[in-house]
Amino acid sequence: MAGDATLPRKAALDLMGEVTEGKRLLSEVAPKRLARLTPPDRARAQRLVTTALRVMDRSDRALGPHLRKRPPPRILNILRLAVAEICELGEASHGVVNSAVTLARADKKTAGMAGLVNAVLRQVDPEGWPALPIPRLPKWLRKPLTDDFGKVAVAAMETAHYHAAPLDLSVKHDAGAVAQALGGSVTPTGSVRLADYGQVSTLPGFEAGEWWVQDAAAALPAMALAPAHGARVLDLCAAPGGKTLQLAAMGADVTALDISRTRMERVEENLARCGMSADLVVADALEYDAPPFDAILLDAPCSATGTIRRHPDLPQAKDGSDFPGLFELQAHLIDRALGLLKPGGRLVYCTCSLLIDEGEEQVRDALGRHPALALDLSALALPGVDPGWIGPEGLRLRPDYWAEIGGMDGFFIAAMVKA
Ligand SMILES: C[S@@+](CC[C@H](N)C(=O)[O-])C[C@H]1O[C@@H](n2cnc3c(N)ncnc32)[C@H](O)[C@@H]1O
């Protein structure tokens, strides 16, 4: 049995295996795996596993010269975690190596390779770490991104993925006052940005519902929809509710719909905390019917490849094979949204994706299917948005934009009007 000091490392190792071998996302497995740890151990395990996944490509390069052949997955993950701790997090090598050896010994199947773990880790040189290339995306994702954006852009995105994301807040009333109270800054588009933060729920203004967590890029679709005060607005894939809150704060009469009851509970909690309201509907958007709305925001389920800065497990857990099903669903959701929209009404379609299949191509296809649909590019000319980010189909946001102030999530946002 591993000793207590090894508990967070053991949890991080198990999670690494769930991602690299089980092909599960951390969001699916971490809550259960970490439930028994104390809050500090849980935070440490989370930090370890996300760091190890974020730098995994670089760790593999650091380990390569010291391994004659690829070791079994659990041993490889023990090595990757230890390299990340020593080289990226700057932990004292002695303690990390001892712990890695303990982890190898703790399992009958890996005990025989504890010596190898010790020998390999003693050869890894933290001094050489910064000279290794920035961690690369796996081929299945690198290839389509390179085809669409080019090598230079993809390298810039990889650099952005390597740097951890700041915490962005959408604010109900006064972003300047919240930024001052929390020691943050205001982004050009009006979100509050914190470089350093502890537990979010203990930050001033959380209990009072003055703000909610939402990446600056994710705050732009609701701004592009810009509903009039009192307008009937449908937030079609609403949970956990970042955009519902924005629309409600703008004074719209919001109906928030999501297929997931559990995720909808988060919308309910967030609305209650922020003292706002919306009609909540748990339903499949494809089967939902209601009198037509003045405006609709469709934040469709997608590959989430725009959020890799925050979710470094995604490139390792996914291989893109389940994405075509999402592309098809997105097209159906656009069609359904148009059926629920009043003539003259605005539809904002968005995805937190870097893939043009989920952005530009969806819009091109939708315009082909619906002759009465027109682009409304002027809605995307928002304060703080660089006009160069607006393409023929809509606003393309990339993680390497705003590199000097901490980046942003990848997103695609289109605004369209139904004739
Ligand atoms: C990108 S997330 C939405 C994020 C949300 N708009 C926000 O700002 O917090 C996509 C959502 O679509 C929901 N979803 C997936 N398929 C759906 C469907 N057929 N009908 C309704 N909601 C669906 C998922 O449960 C998920 O909550």
For the CA of 235, the nearest atom of ligand 1: 6
- What is the structure's pLDDT at 2? 47
Contacts of 202 (CB under 8 A, 6+ apart): none
Q: How far is the CA of 144 from the centre of ligand 1 (A)?
A: 25
- What is the structure's pLDDT at 197? 86
Contacts of 304 (CB under 8 A, 6+ apart): 311, 314, 352, 353
Could you tell me if the CB of 247 is within 6 A of ligand 1?
A: no
Please report, for residues 209, 238, 254, 288, 351, the alpha-carbon distance to residue 284 in angstroms, rounded to integers and kept in the order given.
Answer: 29, 12, 17, 6, 18
Provide the CATH topology of domain 215-418: Rossmann fold (3.40.50)
- What is the structure's pLDDT at 356? 98
Going by pLDDT thresholds of 50, 70 and 90, the confidence category of residue 148 is very high
pLDDT at 204 over 80: yes
Q: How far is the CA of 281 from the centre of ligand 1 (A)?
A: 12
Q: List, as own/partner pairs, every contact residues 187-190 make where C-beta atoms lie below 8 angstroms and the sequence separation is at least 24, other chains included.
A: 187/216, 187/384, 187/402, 187/405, 188/383, 188/384, 188/402, 189/216, 189/219, 189/220, 189/223, 189/382, 189/383, 189/384, 189/385, 190/219, 190/383, 190/384
Going by pLDDT thresholds of 50, 70 and 90, the confidence category of residue 154 is very high
Question: Cα–Cα–Cα angle for 87, 91, 97, nearest 5°?
Answer: 85
Which candidate in 87, 237, 274, 352 is catalytic? 352
pLDDT at 1 over 50: no
Could you tell me if the CB of 221 is within 6 A of ligand 1?
A: no
What is the rounded distance in angstroms from the CA atom of residue 302 to the CA atom of residue 280?
22
Q: Which CATH class is domain 4-131?
A: mainly alpha
Q: How far is the CA of 299 from the centre of ligand 1 (A)?
A: 7
User: Mean per-residue pLDDT for 153-179?
Assistant: 96
pLDDT at 132 over 50: yes
pLDDT at 225 over 50: yes
pLDDT at 158 over 50: yes
Q: How far is the CA of 340 from the centre of ligand 1 (A)?
A: 17
Which pLDDT tens digit goes with each residue over 71-115? 999 999 999 999 999 999 999 999 999 999 999 999 999 999 999
User: Mean per-residue pLDDT for 171-192?
Assistant: 97
- What is the structure's pLDDT at 198? 84
Percent of the chain with pLDDT over 90: 97
User: Mean per-residue pLDDT for 300-326?
Assistant: 97
Could you tell me if the CB of 284 is within 6 A of ligand 1?
A: yes
Task: Choose which residue among 28, 169, 259 to substitute to test ligand 1 binding: the one with the highest number of ligand atoms within 8 A of its C-beta.
Answer: 259
Could you tell me if the CB of 200 is within 6 A of ligand 1?
A: no
**Is the backbone peptide bond immediately before 343 cis, with ω within 30 degrees of 0?**
no
3-state secondary structure (DSSP) of residue 97: helix
237 counts as catalytic: no
- For residue 321 the two structure tokens come to 């094979």
- What is the structure's pLDDT at 290? 98
Q: Model-level pTM? A: 0.95
Going by pLDDT thresholds of 50, 70 and 90, the confidence category of residue 67 is very high
Percent of the chain with pLDDT over 70: 99
User: Mean per-residue pLDDT for 50-76?
Assistant: 97
User: Mean per-residue pLDDT for 15-19?
Assistant: 98
Task: Choose which residue among 27, 220, 258 to substitute to test ligand 1 binding: the one with the highest number of ligand atoms within 8 A of its C-beta.
Answer: 258
Averaged pLDDT score across all residues of the chain: 96
What is the rounded distance in angstroms from the CA atom of residue 259 to the CA atom of residue 10?
35
User: Mean per-residue pLDDT for 320-344?
Assistant: 97
- What is the structure's pLDDT at 122? 97
For the chain, domain boundaries: 4-131, 215-418
Could you tell me if the CB of 301 is within 6 A of ligand 1?
A: yes
Q: How far is the CA of 118 from the centre of ligand 1 (A)?
A: 46
User: Mean per-residue pLDDT for 286-314?
Assistant: 98
Q: Which DSSP letter does residue 85 get?
A: I
